[in-house]
Amino acid sequence: MIRANGMTAVIVLAACLRFMDLGKLELWLDECGAVLMAASPQGLLHELARDNNPPLYFLLLKGWIGVFGLGEVAVRSMSAVIGVLTVAALGLCLRSLGLPRRAVVWSMVLCAVALSRSVTRRRRGPTS
């Protein structure tokens, strides 16, 4: 139980960094476009036929919006959950490869902080 604490702490850190201030700013133009595509009254498949982006994100977002709604926090929380799951999956993959626990934890820390840092920078604008 004690051995898992480092990995668990990093996953909690990743969640805190990703969910912090999710609803602070309004949706960005690209986020609005994704929501409009996912919630299109003509249907998602009709919209995807005219778009050149991979469809998985929009399919997941459509289901997510159906459950959690169209608010800023609701829409952004899907990406935050995926980010936290990415950190956890990295830890499990590295652990299954037999890497030392310390290397796994530090790799998870780097993943948690680096990805959340890019999101934070984007929220603040290009001057930060």
Domain boundaries, position 56: 27-70
- Answer whether 86's CB lies under 8 Å from 110's CB: no
Q: Residue 20, by phi and psi: left (phi above 0), alpha (psi -120 to 50) or beta? A: beta
Q: What is the pLDDT of residue 116?
A: 62
For residue 29, is pLDDT > 70?
Answer: yes
- 96 and 112 belong to one structural domain: yes
62 contacts: CB under 8 Å, gap ≥ 6: 38, 39, 44
- 75 and 127 belong to one structural domain: yes
Work out how many domains the chain is built from and give that number: 2
- 75 and 64 belong to one structural domain: no
Give domain status of residue 105, yes or no. yes
Highest mean pLDDT among 23-32, 70-79, 118-127: 70-79
Give the least confident one: 29-33, 51-55, 117-121, 123-127: 123-127
- Answer whether 112's CB lies under 8 Å from 87's CB: yes
| Residue for token pair 């609701």 | 74
**Higher-pLDDT residue of 123, 57:** 57
- CA gap 109, 113 in Å, rounded: 6
- 116 and 92 belong to one structural domain: yes
Give domain status of residue 16, yes or no. no
Give domain status of residue 5, yes or no. no
Q: What is the pLDDT of residue 118?
A: 52
What are the tokens at 62? 């459509």
- 127 and 79 belong to one structural domain: yes
- 63 and 76 belong to one structural domain: no
Rounded mean pLDDT, 88-113: 95
Q: What is the pLDDT of residue 127?
A: 40
Q: What is the pLDDT of residue 121?
A: 46
- 80 and 98 belong to one structural domain: yes
The per-residue pLDDT for range 48-86, each reduced to its tens digit, is 777 777 888 888 999 999 999 988 898 899 989 999 999
Give domain status of residue 17, yes or no. no
- 54 and 86 belong to one structural domain: no
- Answer whether 28's CB lies under 8 Å from 72's CB: no
Give the least confident one: 11-25, 26-40, 109-123: 109-123
Give domain status of residue 9, yes or no. no
